């Protein structure tokens, strides 16, 4: 079974600085997708960024980027120029390729942004 | 507006009672999912359905039941057999394959057993 591990239960960052959240996963498959979801205090889950395993290029979305290391099975999220609105729980998630879209989530990292 | 609705937002139940959580979507998505969220546990999959009249157990299906009679609706029943039902429940859906392979989430239902 696939597993997703987020080793940092909590992180903090100063406003305008950069922070990196870690995620590792375990799979024997070659076709899969990886996601970072954000859950603010409202508890609404919001997709931050996604990465297809077959793509070598790291995904970026404005201030959010990933460092995808397929051989190491690592998928870290970098948040640049952190803003107060970035404060949230962040979940890393894995999905096998194909037509079954169910996700396996890590336990989450609570990010605090200090003004 | 298209989206996923879950009702109610807060739900209280006495021990020994069954309770049904509603999930409706008007996104024309085929697949729907139920997750349970506990502090420090992330999201865990309870049940999912990829097509009407069909559903599969997830990782923690014991004590739960679902139905999928309509494409738009995927209600979750928490039965009295669920030993620790107090949690936050999230419903999600996914459009058919291709580029849009992300899951879209509803706002959640907080269930408290008294």
Per-residue pLDDT at B1 exceeds 90:
no
Instruction: Give the pLDDT of residue A101.
Output: 79
Q: How far apart are CA A45 and CA A100, in angstroms?
A: 20
Other Cβ atoms less than 10 A from the Cβ of B60: the count is 16
Q: Which residues contact B84 (CB under 8 A, 6 or more apart)?
A: none
**Band of the pLDDT at B98, cuts 50, 70, 90?**
low
pLDDT, tens digit only, all 115 positions of chain A: 789 999 999 999 999 999 999 999 999 998 899 999 999 999 999 999 999 998 889 999 999 999 999 999 999 999 999 999 999 999 999 998 877 778 999 999 999 999 9
pLDDT tens-digit readout, B19-31: 999 999 999 999 9
Q: Which two tokens stand for residue B108?
A: 């959640």
Instruction: Give the pLDDT of residue B39.
Output: 87
- Residue A96 near chain B (CB below 8 Å): no
Interface test with B, best of A39, A42, A101 (most B CBs within 10 A): A101
Instruction: Give the pLDDT of residue B100.
Output: 56
Per-residue pLDDT at B33 exceeds 60:
yes
For chain B, give the mean pLDDT.
92
Do residues A35 and A47 touch, judged by C-beta distance below 8 A? yes
Per-residue pLDDT at B38 exceeds 90:
yes
Q: How far apart are CA B77 and CA A10, in angstroms?
A: 33
Q: Where are the beta strands (DSSP E) in chain A?
A: 3-5, 10-14, 19-21, 24-26, 32-39, 46-52, 60-61, 64-69, 74-79, 88-96, 103-105, 109-114
- Residue A53 near chain B (CB below 8 Å): no
**Chain B residues within 8 Å of chain A (Cβ atoms):** 31, 33, 35, 40-45, 48, 50, 58, 88, 90, 92, 94, 97, 101-103, 105, 107-108
Quick one: which H or E segment has residue B79?
none
pLDDT tens-digit readout, B51-71: 999 999 999 999 999 999 999
Residue with tokens 């979507």, as numbered in its chain: B25
Per-residue pLDDT at B99 exceeds 70:
no
Q: Which residues contact B92 (CB under 8 A, 6 or more apart)?
A: A45, B4, B32, B33, B34, B35, B103, B104, B105, B106
């Amino acid at each position: 079974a696939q597993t997703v591990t987020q080793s940092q239960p909590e992180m903090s960052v100063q406003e305008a600085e950069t922070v990196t959240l870690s995620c590792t996963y375990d799979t024997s498959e070659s076709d899969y997708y990886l996601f970072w979801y954000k859950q603010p205090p409202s508890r609404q889950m919001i997709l931050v960024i996604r990465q297809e395993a077959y793509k070598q290029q790291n995904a970026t979305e404005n201030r959010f980027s990933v460092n995808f290391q397929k051989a190491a099975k690592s998928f870290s999220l970098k948040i640049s120029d952190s803003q107060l609105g970035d404060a949230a729980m962040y979940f890393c998630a894995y999905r096998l390729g194909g037509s079954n879209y169910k996700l396996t989530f890590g336990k989450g990292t609570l990010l605090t942004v200090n003004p | 507006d298209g989206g996923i609705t879950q009702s109610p937002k807060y739900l209280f139940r006495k021990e020994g009672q069954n309770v049904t959580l509603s999930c409706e979507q008007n996104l024309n998505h085929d697949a729907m999912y139920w997750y349970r969220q506990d502090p420090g546990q992330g999201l865990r999959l309870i049940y999912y359905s990829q097509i009407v009249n069909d559903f599969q157990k997830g990782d923690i299906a014991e004590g739960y039941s679902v139905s999928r009679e309509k494409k738009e609706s995927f209600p979750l029943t928490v039965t009295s057999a669920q030993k620790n039902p107090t949690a936050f429940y999230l419903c999600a859906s996914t459009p058919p394959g291709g580029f849009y392979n992300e899951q879209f989430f509803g706002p959640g239902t907080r269930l408290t057993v008294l």
